Amino acid sequence: MVLNISADDPLPGDEAFRRKDLKGTRWEATYAGALSFMRRKYTRDLTGVDIAVSGIPFDQAVSHRPGTRFGPEAIRKASAENAWGPFWPWMFDPFDTLAVIDHGDCFFDWGRKEKAPDFIEKHAADILASGAEMLTFGGDHYVTYPLLKAHAKKHGPLALVQFDAHRDVEPDDGGRIDHGTMFNYAVQDGVIDPKKSIQVGIRTTFTGERKMGFTILYADRVHAMTADEVAREIIRVTGGSKAYLTFDIDCLDPSAAPGTGTPIPGGLTYHQAASIIRKLVPVKFVAMDIVEVSPPYDHGDITALAAASLAMEYLCLKAAQRGARAEEMGD
């Protein structure tokens, strides 16, 4: 993007608040100005919105290192580096096609942990009632459970596409607010269809875990496959059903994403994960979340930057589904 303005022109800046149109991109300094995700308009007005970005700063379900309550803030900040034009390698600006806003963060009373799931589910339900879709930043992975419940009420049981180091299906009889139990609950509640769901990058196992009907691509198998092969398996398993994409940042190797609560060596690189997502245009995704970014354990913001970039991969995928195509490059 070429910045060609005179001193008499209205200067760009603080697009998070000054923007009038929901689409398009205007340049502003990456190191300055009001922060929103990708400099999108910061608003609770959902009129005409295709995708609402929001954060859920909840980390009271963690089993090891805390800090993911700071994840949404860090992802927004990291996104400013790329908020200036066509996104490589898609070679188009998804905001020319999609009306995207930053809806802010979900509110809940941190002193009432047991009520947080209800606040999260209502937060999602209010957005979905407008017709907008969601792109959500956690928070720990438990937040996906109330998000799934809200989406299933609108769409019916969903296929789950889960990128993760952990399966998060630990056995429990219900009620435990724990970021290792929620997909067990989601299957029991009927909000996801395990036979149309797939878990990618898994490299842990726990006593009492059951397969529960999920297709599992363990990390060693993913490393032995091409991105095309992994994507084809995801497309096969989801089978044309509406799907929810959840990306636990610990799916990436700690060398690529150290800022997370339960890092496990042997994970995917950013290139592997992004290359797979780019090939999932045929999948009928209704939403995505990115969770478990813990800035206190990050180095040079590389985990937050990976999360922000994965969010952009998803927005480009959604724009491609609506007909966005690569722009011609000049000589």
Q: In this prediction, what percent of the chain has a pLDDT beyond 90?
A: 74
Band the pLDDT of 6: cuts 50, 70, 90. low
Is the domain covering 30-321 a CATH 3.20.20.70 domain?
A: no
Could you tell me if 235 and 215 are in contact, meaning their C-beta atoms sit under 8 angstroms apart?
no
pTM to 2 decimals? 0.93
pLDDT (tens digit, 9 = 90+) per residue, 10-56?
666 888 888 888 998 877 878 888 889 999 999 999 999 999 999 99
Backbone φ, ψ for residue 291 (5° rounding):
-130, 170
The pLDDT assigned to 210 comes to 80
Average pLDDT over residues 149-162: 98
The vertex-262 CA angle with 256 and 265, nearest 5°, equals 50
Q: How much is the pLDDT for 1?
A: 46
> Cα-flanking dihedrals φ and ψ of residue 174, to 5°?
110, 150
Per-residue pLDDT tens over the stretch 263-286: 999 999 999 999 999 999 999 999
Question: Residue 301 has which token pair?
Answer: 């913001």
CB atoms near residue 208 (< 10 Å): 8
Rounded CA-CA distance 108/116 in Å is: 6
